[in-house]
Amino acid sequence: MSSSGGEIDRTGKLNTAFLDVSTQHLHFIHELANRLANFPVADEVASVENRWCQLRDIVKSPALDVLGRALPQHQGCFDDNDAAINVLLAEKNQFQNAYVDRPTTANKTAFYQSRCLV
């Protein structure tokens, strides 16, 4: 859950649906309370921004550990048809480029055919 350098990876969304499960909710609260209890006392020379970053990381870390990342909602919509879609798009782009480069009657026909492909 950490990126290189020990910093917490903050990309992506958390799976907050797990908070609806009472056992996960309680586990998250206890884990967060434990980590906040061990949060070091403010260093006099530490900047406010630095302290906020430390607090954010302390809150984010148990959230990632307990809740995990949310799954992408639309991941894999085209996975099965990727090759076919790429072939159609390449053909469409070829027809469109032919039309744009030379707007002759034959190329216009090719362009209109490409619009029917996708």
Residues 26-39, mean pLDDT to the nearest whole number: 86
- For residue 38, give the nearest of 23, 7, 59 by alpha carbon: 59
Domains in the chain: boundaries: 16-67, 79-117
What tokens appear for 74 in the block?
A: 């639309």
What per-residue confidence (pLDDT) applies to 74?
A: 61
Q: pLDDT (tens digit, 9 = 90+) per residue, 48-105?
A: 888 888 888 888 888 887 777 776 666 555 566 677 777 888 888 888 777 677 766 6
* H runs (alpha helix) in 10-104: 22-37, 48-67, 82-101
How far apart are alpha carbons 84 and 92 in whole angstroms? 12
Q: The pTM is what?
A: 0.44
